[in-house]
Structure 1
Amino acid sequence: MKIVIDENIPLAEDFFSAHGEIVRLPGRQLSAADVADADALLVRSVTRVDEALLGGSQVKFVGTCTIGMDHLDQPWLDQQGIRYINAPGCNANSVVEYVYAALAHLNIDWRGKTVGIIGCGNVGGALYRALTAQGVNCRCYDPLLSLEQNPDLCELEDVLQCDIVSLHTPLTTTGMHPSRHLLTEQQLLQLPRGGILLNCGRGAVIDNKALLQVMHERSDLQVVLDVWEWEPNIDLSLLARVALGSPHIAGYSFDGKLKGTAMIYDAFCESFGLAPSVTLTDVLPAVEHNRIEAPLGADDWQAVRELIDQVYAIAADDKRLRTVASDAGGQGEALSQGFDQLRKDYPVRREFNNYQVTGVAANTPLAITLKAMGFIVQ
């Protein structure tokens, strides 16, 4: 059996090598020739999987180690009888922690703000549950959910009035509620003075040209973009305006990526009638020196900020992207290659649940906040 795997999927050999020949290739450059004689294909969101890629191939199984599936031509795959599977929820914690890290870096204490969440599926739902566990007032927009599923659902206009607005929707262009350009100039201008806007879902959910125009007019807004329309060839003028920018890595925690690999591996084994021989526990390494101490004499918010920064210094992600943009000198190909290289070489980032915080009294507001964020507090 031949298994073609995106080079950015970690430890795939540990899971799949017992079942066939592994071929690692750059996901964005995959061609029909690369997969013509493959039996299975494992991708991430940068690979468009459709007839142009798989037509005439012998691929029987496609696994995407991501939550979203907008890069898969699902009707065509169904028509061809090719099984496809995603990894729902695999990187939800990673993206939620990206939101925390971004707000902490900007010194925005979410506990005293109203937070609007657009898209309350795996990621947005995880963010919603974590924030409400901290007592945060949330408003949510997701036309695919009911009030029974989320009692804080409201209209999009109401969400846009929140102090912080965070987007976590998949990209859809059809159906009753397409998400492409969900936020245009009209919606963006509704954000309140001093508003915070984060997009950790899909770049084209926000009209990036409109966003740039609004930011020219509204210097009070702070914008965090992990995803970009037209990536990897992102708009450098928009990057220059945002408070934080990163190369589509919000979900790139080591834990989240490995969880996605494990989920696809289990589906692969089931699809081909194989007995799984590896589990996530077998390959997920423990974090050494995982005890971190809360800063003495700091107030709760300062302690939260410092603890987050010890685990995930998000400013480094922003700096790396701006360095690549500067080195590219406005050259589209160099920028695209640099963007993808940052994703390929992304450093290991472990999730908060691997770390035990010491020096925090049990059942205090700080302990409640840290536990809700995923830290171990004993």
Structure 2
Amino acid sequence: MKPAPLKIVADENIPALQTLFAPLGELHTRPGRAICRDDLLDADVLLVRSVTPVNRALLQGTSVRFVGTATIGTDHIDLAALTELGIGFSSAPGCNADAVVEYVLSVLLHLAEEQGFDLWGRSVGIVGVGNVGSRLATRLQALGIRTLLCDPPRQRSLSVDEAARFCSLEQLLSEADIVSLHTPLTHSGEDATWHLLQAETLAMLQPGSILINAGRGPVIDNRALLELLQQRDDLTLVLDVWENEPAVNPALAAHVKIATPHIAGYSLEGKLRGTWMLYQAWCAFSGVRVQQSFAQLLPLAEVAEMRLTEKAGLLPPVRMLYDPFRDDRALRASLGVPEQQQKVAFDQLRKQYPIRREFSALTLQLPTDQQSIFKALGFPVADAKK
């Protein structure tokens, strides 16, 4: 008797599903927030993004034997339930880390130009030094910008010499001019990050500092943040994630300098890499030979080269690839309507997000003596053509 074909249920917003997974069996796509147990009764594989809570109630009694999330974070996945149910699992750690790093770098360069400050005269505190935070630190340090690192569980796992590079959250908040959050979301234990920044810790932010959250929304108590912003007008806020998303508090957004709809990691490379990592994981889980390469998925960039003059500065090539104020305008245009409409608009902004390429897609032609700083930023460089 011929075995039933593999049935794959997937969030419709995961890219390259047709290319990578349709050849493996029957592919059924659904809106991520709408995936339910009935969809999975006879499914073998479930592929999700961060908007689908995956727990015992969703999976028990179904035929699902493998779950994959095309995201770095796993706070929407009940890992204990998967283990107890004997279901295989894979996430995509690091898939969009470079995209988030470049979101932060772009934000900083845009704000430095708009507010007229020297980024090299500031110190950047990075809270959470995993895939994203460590890469952000590497680029900032290569640029010669002072960084402070805070990650207690990671610090405890290091040697004494390596751990000395880290500091407490209190020290970071008391010294950093810029604070960038990149922690996972955890709710219990000594290293819980839910409301890591609440009224007491938010009050430690230095006068005139910049706070960026491109990690998980509930790491900041948004109510306490709004109360602080109503009392202090010296802070600059950049929020890509929100405590109750897809709902965005319009009152909070009004105090935020750059407000975006959870798209910091939405580069084309990052999204395709996430799907590719799940494809590799499924092949390993099922014993199927990998048939396709990541390079086959990635198209050529619309603009692949750019020549810079000596006085161009760092911002022009960054702005060509990504301008965070474009996403800010799009999100603000969706506010001021009833909450349910606003939630739908938030998801639509993510679903219909325009193609955005990473710095690696644009080769810069410039004089040899200017190449090191652009390499540190993350661009491929070549000698300027005569």
User: TM-score under structure 2 normalisation?
Assistant: 0.93
The alignment partner of 1:129 has SS state of: helix
The alignment partner of 1:242 has SS state of: coil
Residue deviations 1:332-361, cap 9 Å, x none?
A: 110110000111000110100010112x32
Structure-2 separation of matches of 1:5 and 1:306: 38
Match in the other structure for 1:275: 289
Match in the other structure for 2:243: 229
Change (3 A) 1:33 1:109: farther
Answer yes or no: is the 8 Å Cα contact 1:193–1:220 preserved in 2: yes
Structure-1 separation of matches of 2:374 and 2:7: 45
The one-letter amino acid paired with 2:88 is R
Match in the other structure for 1:167: 181
Match in the other structure for 2:171: 158
1:93 Cα shift?
A: 0.3
Matched, 1:361 2:371: no
The one-letter amino acid paired with 2:285 is S
Match in the other structure for 2:377: 373
Structure-2 separation of matches of 1:90 and 1:150: 26
The one-letter amino acid paired with 2:327 is D
Change (3 A) 1:99 1:28: same
The alignment partner of 2:21 has SS state of: helix
Change (3 A) 1:80 1:139: same
The alignment partner of 2:225 has SS state of: helix
Match in the other structure for 2:349: 342
Structure-2 separation of matches of 1:124 and 1:221: 22
Structure-2 separation of matches of 1:252 and 1:2: 27
Structure-2 separation of matches of 1:7 and 1:325: 25
Match in the other structure for 1:191: 205
The alignment partner of 2:153 has SS state of: coil
Structure-2 separation of matches of 1:151 and 1:356: 37
1:151 Cα shift?
A: 4.6
The alignment partner of 1:315 has SS state of: helix
Matched, 1:117 2:117: no
Match in the other structure for 2:319: 309
Structure-1 separation of matches of 2:274 and 2:299: 16
Answer yes or no: is the 8 Å Cα contact 1:138–1:152 preserved in 2: no
Residue 95 of structure 1, aligned match among 92, 100, 122? 100
The one-letter amino acid paired with 1:249 is I
The alignment partner of 1:145 has SS state of: helix
Matched, 1:3 2:8: yes
Match in the other structure for 1:139: 148
1:369 Cα shift?
A: 2.3
Residue 335 of structure 2, aligned match among 325, 331, 354? 325
Change (3 A) 1:311 1:295: farther
RMSD, matched Cα: 1.3
Deviating more after overlay: 198-207 vs 46-55:
46-55
1:182 Cα shift?
A: 0.3
Aligned residue-pair number: 368
1:363 Cα shift?
A: 4.0
The alignment partner of 1:325 has SS state of: coil
Answer yes or no: is the 8 Å Cα contact 1:5–1:22 preserved in 2: yes
Change (3 A) 1:109 1:43: farther
Structure-1 separation of matches of 2:163 and 2:50: 28
Answer yes or no: is the 8 Å Cα contact 2:60–2:85 preserved in 1: no
- 5+ residue gaps, structure 2, are 1-5
1:312 Cα shift?
A: 0.6
Deviating more after overlay: 153-162 vs 118-127:
153-162
Answer yes or no: is the 8 Å Cα contact 1:7–1:24 preserved in 2: yes
Residue 35 of structure 2, aligned match among 12, 18, 30? 30
Structure-1 separation of matches of 2:368 and 2:165: 29
The alignment partner of 1:172 has SS state of: coil
Answer yes or no: is the 8 Å Cα contact 1:114–1:136 preserved in 2: yes
Matched, 1:72 2:61: no
User: TM-score under structure 1 normalisation?
Assistant: 0.95
- 5+ residue gaps, structure 1, are none
Structure-2 separation of matches of 1:211 and 1:259: 34
Change (3 A) 1:372 1:66: same
